[in-house]
Structure 1
């Protein structure tokens, strides 16, 4: 198929011509008449609004300060005693007095620590994998240990941290390791 050059072609002329030239002129006059009427109404509304603002500004009743009107209100209430508020009732609650003389009983209890804790971060078949995790933990600022244990399924190299005297200290280090993308650490009692 041959390429067509659309740029060099001249645009097609509008074949529809109005039958009567008077209709087009009449429609143009109507549009201008509508816009003239809308603009006249807008000017009248703006003028009325600005006159209203000016009349509020120059009206003497709007110039009285607010403080004077507040001062006159209590004087009128003093004259009309029948609408005055009654005295507040006497307080029948004794909560405030009881609170001053109240004694609190404190129960004695003892927190029992279960023992030292350790945090295990991995268990590997090869020593090299365990040493790699130990190095990653060392980059976070913590010191890990590797212990080789023979179990039912063979030799395992466990990477752990501790001992921690309280579980809260172990949790603190666990969150530090999570922030450094070392996950899956478990906290257990030291055995």
Structure 2
């Protein structure tokens, strides 16, 4: 800790006297007016609450009990027509009985197999691009084929998977390819 120089420090200022020549009183025990008013208000509220409780205690209307006397077992009240429960109404709905005897007619449906499906994932002008896509599909765990087709606009190299006997199997592989970031595959009928 650094040494403090008490000599070069300015001396403390003395308190000034009032106009009358008296020192100002530093009355720390004086309570401000606001605190006095709040404490007076609290005392009045507590007194009013205590008076309210005392008046409830001494009021004769609060002395009578509100509980009815307990009836003994031997005392029975005669039953009135109003005390009896009404008889339940008869049901006007017959659907419960109708459902017991209801027969359901089942139509004869034939499921037609449309045939095998294939999933084409790309069509490229160069063989190299088709080989790259085939390799990416192989890394996802599926086997793709490349077929070269010559048309009016030149030779196209198509990358496809299949044949699939059902479309659902092709959809499963399509979702597997999407999880491996190979998008834009289309499922078609095999022709």
Q: 1:124 to 1:86 in 2, by over 3 A?
A: same
Q: 1:34 to 1:80 in 2, by over 3 A?
A: farther
Give unmatched runs, 5+ long, in structure 2. Answer: 1-23, 54-64
Q: Who is 2:141 aligned against?
A: 141
Q: Who is 1:84 aligned against?
A: 84
Distance in 2 (CA, whole Å) between partners of 1:77 and 1:120 is 90
1:91-102 paired onto structure 2 within 5 Å: 91-102=91-102
1:15-54 paired onto structure 2 within 5 Å: 29-33=32-36, 36=39, 40=42, 44=46
Distance in 1 (CA, whole Å) between partners of 2:141 and 2:104 is 46
Distance in 2 (CA, whole Å) between partners of 1:120 and 1:81 is 84
Cα distance, 1:86 vs structure 2: 0.5
Q: Who is 1:183 aligned against?
A: 183
Q: 1:83 to 1:132 in 2, by over 3 A?
A: same
Does the aligned pair in 2 maintain the 1:137–1:177 contact within 8 Å?
Answer: yes
TM-score by length of 2: 0.61
Distance in 2 (CA, whole Å) between partners of 1:97 and 1:183 is 57
Q: Who is 1:13 aligned against?
A: none
Secondary structure of 2:85 counterpart: coil
Give unmatched runs, 5+ long, in structure 1. Answer: 1-20, 52-60, 70-74
TM-score by length of 1: 0.61
Q: Aligned pairs, how many?
A: 145
Q: 1:125 to 1:80 in 2, by over 3 A?
A: same
**Which of the pair has more CA radius of gyration?**
2
Does the aligned pair in 2 maintain the 1:77–1:83 contact within 8 Å?
Answer: no
**RMSD, aligned CA:** 3.7
Distance in 1 (CA, whole Å) between partners of 2:178 and 2:78 is 73
More helix by share: 1
